[in-house]
Amino acid sequence: MDLRKSVEALWRIEAPQLIATLARRIGSLDIAEDLASEAFVSALEQWPADGIPPKPGAWLMKTAWHKAIDRARREETARKKAPLLVAGHGGELADVADEALDPIPDDLLTMVFTTCHPLLSPESRVALTLRLFGGLTTDEVARAFLVPTATIGQRISRAKRTLAEARVPIEAPSAEELPERLRAVLDVLYAIFNEGYSASSGTNLVRADLAVEAMRMGRVLAGLSPTEPEVFGLVALMELQASRFRTRVDAAGIPARLEDQDRRRWDRTLIEHGLSMLDRAFDLARPLGVFSLQAAISACHARAATFAVTDWVAILALYDALTQITRSPVVELNRAVAVLHVDGPEAALATTRPLLADRRMAGYHLLGAVRGDILTRLGRHAEAAAELERAAELAPTKQERQLLLSRMAQALAPRNAGGQSSEEPPAE
Amino acid sequence: MRVMVMTKGDAADEGNGEPTTEMFEKMRVFNEQLVNAGIMLGGEGLQSSAAGAKVAFSTAGTTVVDGPFTESKEVIAGYWIWEVSSLAEAIEWAKRCPFDPSYGDSQILEIRPLFDMADFAQTVDADALAKSEQLLDPTSD
């Protein structure tokens, strides 16, 4: 195995904890990251001759710490009276006992709270979190977002500068702040997942790498905060959704609805792991939050061997709980789909009516898509076609637009073709 | 990428005593590291090959060999499924697996990336592929 590849792999494994522990000791994420990078450069220089040490993490920490001491001493010499960038003098740093440098998992948790700090813009949180908590290289982050490396590099530097200028301490949030700050971290991970799950722009609907990375970071976070049900809920949600990656679009790249997906191709490994994560969330016996509830809904689909045996009553109950805590029109719309399967199309149509007046839904293509489906079932084909056409205009990707237009054509087909539709099976 | 990591040992060393508390604890710590790194998706341990059998095919015919597989140098004792960013990453993790020579001097971790059905799409007829997916899947009919 090529040594460079091994070192890259070790960055992925060791860098987050290394940077987190250095940041705690030094009080700066920026300097901690520099020191970690320098330690890896040393590794690339020394390991070809010496081989990879048996405990590479400890080697890297020791090397990075020596560099911290050198750096502090250089600064002392250069500017005797000026305030030091590093919190401590070279001598003091040199006196730090080895045990004080032992990696502590809490350091990693503190770091992710910092990379998802509310002072930072959402896109900076995403870039910084992938870089420092995920251990991706700047190149890898850039590639995933289809932007030049320099852009991501600048975004990360700017984020670190913002934190330094605001003197954000590298410490865990207080107990009062914790729920809100944890939610911020979960939101960042879910945003990264969704960026991979369904690219918001461009023609490539599934960009799985980011989603895989988000799931991995979620599992790491679950290990760091094992008493927070929503962390498990988020991991479960991501894994259950990702279990359907393979079937989410058809061979032509057109999104497939749940009822049209070939469930035999769902990823059983992710489903099993996701369901076990959801159990962990339930086991903590606290009120379920938005991620756990959505995961529980996703689990109902994962457990159904066919679309026909889906437990819509359970799904509707979960949506009822979810609408209570989110008050989101998108959730209301999804609830309408559950109403459709439990109480029929008339009831479902009534559920969607208030959403037409909701300004937040004005540009949302799925409102028209769902109403189009309900109206088709009611035999109101012209209205269905109008809804689907409007939805197609609002669709964010070419593939979704295509799907909606073909459904519009289907909505009109039964009448034009004398009730014959080659696509639909005969009514039961 | 998803990999299967198989633990293998010499059949002659099978049943070299029950795991000691110390070794058990070391393995627990290692497994915990894998879980906390977010890469562990699953795994199972296998009973000794004495409890198993082999069915061997050749032009001379089909034979059944009962366990234990005494002549085999690499008997699978268990496996993990990991989600890693590269083979190199899986290797670095595998190197950290605890090793206790009292179970035998030859212990191997074999790392093999899993196929996705998409990998066969180039060589196998689409119909055959769809049929084999049905067979492989426990939820089909």
Q: How does pLDDT run across B16-56, given as a tens digit for each residue?
A: 767 788 888 999 999 999 999 999 999 999 999 999 999 99
Residue numbers in B near A270 (CB within 8 A):
41
The pLDDT, as a whole number, for residue A202 is 42
Instruction: Evaluate if residue B62 carries a pLDDT over 70.
Output: yes
ipTM here: 0.84
Residue numbers in B near A223 (CB within 8 A):
35-36, 38
**Do residue B38 and residue A12 have CB atoms under 8 angstroms apart?**
no
Give the whole-angstrom CA distance, residue A170 versus residue B49: 53
Nearest chain B residue (CA) to A268: B137
The pLDDT, as a whole number, for residue B119 is 53
**Do residue B35 and residue A219 have CB atoms under 8 angstroms apart?**
yes
Residue range B77-86: mean pLDDT, rounded: 95
Residue numbers in A near B92 (CB within 8 A):
6, 9-10, 13, 56
The pLDDT, as a whole number, for residue B141 is 40
Residue numbers in B near A276 (CB within 8 A):
none
Please name the member of B88, B117, B137 whose beta carbon is closest to the beta carbon of A8: B88
CB of B124 within 8 Å of a chain A CB? The answer is no
**Do residue B139 and residue A216 have CB atoms under 8 angstroms apart?**
no
Closest-CA distance of chain A to residue B16, Å: 27
What are the CB-based long-range contacts (under 8 Å, 24+) for A373-382?
A: A373/A340, A373/A407, A374/A336, A374/A340, A374/A345, A374/A348, A374/A349, A375/A345, A375/A349, A375/A411, A376/A410, A376/A411, A377/A340, A377/A345, A378/A345, A378/A346, A378/A349, A381/A411, A381/A412, A381/A414, A381/A415, A382/A412
Please name the member of A6, A10, A220 whose beta carbon is closest to the beta carbon of B37: A220
CA A177 to chain centre: 22
From residue A187, give the alpha-carbon distance in Å to each of A89, A155, A182, B130.
Answer: 38, 19, 9, 37
Q: In a structure prediction context, what are the per-residue pLDDT tens digits for chain A, which is 428 residues long?
A: 689 999 999 999 999 999 999 999 888 999 999 999 999 999 999 999 999 999 999 999 999 999 999 988 888 777 665 555 555 556 667 777 667 677 788 999 999 999 999 999 999 999 999 999 999 999 888 888 888 999 999 999 999 999 999 999 998 899 999 999 999 999 999 999 988 876 544 445 446 788 999 999 999 999 999 999 999 999 999 999 999 988 887 777 677 889 889 999 899 999 999 999 999 999 999 999 999 999 999 999 999 999 999 999 999 999 999 999 998 999 999 999 999 999 999 999 999 999 999 998 988 999 999 999 999 999 999 999 999 999 999 998 888 898 899 999 988 885 554 444 444 444 43
**Do residue B137 and residue A268 have CB atoms under 8 angstroms apart?**
yes
Which of the residues A10, A11, A12 would you substitute to probe the B interface, choosing the one with the greatest number of B C-beta atoms within 10 Å?
A: A12
Tokens representing A387 are: 């809804």
Tokens representing B16 are: 């070299």
The pLDDT, as a whole number, for residue B129 is 55
The pLDDT, as a whole number, for residue A92 is 67
Closest-CA distance of chain B to residue A273, Å: 6
Residue range B68-89: mean pLDDT, rounded: 92
Nearest chain B residue (CA) to A277: B41
The pLDDT, as a whole number, for residue B80 is 97
**Do residue A220 and residue B91 have CB atoms under 8 angstroms apart?**
no
Give the whole-angstrom CA distance, residue B84 versus residue B75: 25
CA A3 to chain centre: 31
Tokens representing A261 are: 């997906």
Which of the residues B139, B140, B141 would you substitute to probe the A interface, choosing the one with the greatest number of A C-beta atoms within 10 Å?
A: B139
Please name the member of B38, B89, B139 whose beta carbon is closest to the beta carbon of A264: B139
Q: Which of residues 344-403 of A touch B (CB under 8 A)?
A: none
Residue numbers in A near B137 (CB within 8 A):
264-265, 268
Contact B115, B37 (CB under 8 A): no
Residue numbers in B near A218 (CB within 8 A):
38
CB of B41 within 8 Å of a chain A CB? The answer is yes
CB of B121 within 8 Å of a chain A CB? The answer is no
Give the whole-angstrom CA distance, residue A172 versus residue A124: 20
Contact A120, A159 (CB under 8 A): yes
